[in-house]
């Protein structure tokens, strides 16, 4: 029963994937992971004053979104995760020091404006690259890619279990909240934090106990500390070449921006 329930919830971690048959979907996952990492690094290192370079990065990201067939509404919905960063960026010009400039009758810090632009641009482009990866590559494929890229197997195993049971824990937290509501207690305010803390503590204890039971069950089945890779294969060179195109363009823009 428990195994079947967990197995049913495993599919929940795949809700980020936008199924399709685009060239981006067909690329080897390890090539996409490396390309995404390299692209984000190039974006992060781009000088904030070189606005044209960010235009190149954005054009590359948008082109891949179109090639992968990721719907615009999905992209915009997932970009909501950067709202806290954008909120911080909006506040920077008001609190930063240095020379002030007049914007619509309001005195704002010049360095603060550049800082706000820097945060907004890099967060948006970097998040878009991550969304492309998650939308075209399932979690199991990403974990296999990390294994093939020689990431320590212990870390891959930890990430695997985290993704496997994340939906289960969220579901259990929802059931606990439903139970509290059914008993005429629906905490919403800060002074009602005690029941919420008690629920969080109970969830932690249950999660710890479940982890112990799962670990004991795995040991009894011969688990040696790492998950085996049952699909050893070489990554096609063509996939590496195609995946390298976006970071190469981003690197060219970065080098040009640094030189100029």
pLDDT of residue 13: 53
Give CA–CA dist 58/125, Å, rounded.
6
pLDDT in tens, 90-104: 888 888 877 788 777
pTM for the full model? 0.79
Give residue 228's region: left, alpha or beta (phi > 0; psi -120 to 50): beta
| Domain ranges within the chain, ordered by starting residue | 18-146+233-259
User: What token pair was written down for 3?
Assistant: 């195994």
pLDDT of residue 226: 66
pLDDT of residue 104: 79
Angle, vertex CA 169, rays to CA 167 and CA 175, nearest 5: 105
Identify the residue whose tokens are 């069950």: 217
pLDDT of residue 182: 78
Give me the residues of the chain with pLDDT under 70, please.
1-14, 186-193, 225-232
pLDDT of residue 187: 65
pLDDT of residue 192: 65
Give residue 225's region: left, alpha or beta (phi > 0; psi -120 to 50): left
């Amino acid at each position: 029963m428990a195994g079947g329930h967990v197995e049913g919830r495993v599919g929940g971690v795949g809700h980020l994937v936008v199924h399709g048959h685009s060239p981006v979907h067909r690329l080897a996952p390890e090539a996409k992971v490396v390309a995404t990492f390299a692209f984000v690094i190039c974006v992060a290192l781009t000088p904030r004053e070189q606005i044209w370079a960010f235009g190149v990065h954005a054009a590359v990201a948008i082109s891949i979104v179109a090639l992968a067939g990721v719907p615009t509404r999905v992209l915009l919905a997932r970009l909501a995760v950067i709202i806290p960063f954008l909120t911080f960026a909006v506040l920077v010009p008001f609190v930063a020091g240095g020379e002030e400039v007049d914007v619509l009758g309001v005195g704002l810090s010049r360095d603060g404006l550049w800082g706000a632009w820097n945060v907004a641009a890099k967060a948006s482009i970097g998040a878009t690259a991550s969304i492309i990866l998650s939308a075209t590559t399932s979690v199991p494929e990403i974990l296999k890619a990390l294994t093939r890229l020689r990431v320590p197997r212990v870390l891959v195993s930890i990430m695997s279990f985290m993704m496997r049971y994340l939906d289960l824990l969220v579901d259990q937290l929802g059931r606990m909240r439903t139970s509290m509501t059914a008993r005429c207690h629906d905490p919403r305010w800060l002074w009602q934090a005690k029941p919420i803390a008690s629920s969080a503590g109970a969830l932690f204890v249950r999660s710890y106990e479940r982890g112990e039971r799962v670990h004991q069950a795995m040991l009894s089945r011969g688990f040696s500390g790492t998950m085996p890779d049952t699909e050893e294969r070489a990554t096609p060179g063509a996939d590496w070449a195609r995946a390298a195109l976006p970071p190469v363009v981003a690197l060219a823009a970065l080098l040009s921006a640094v030189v100029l």
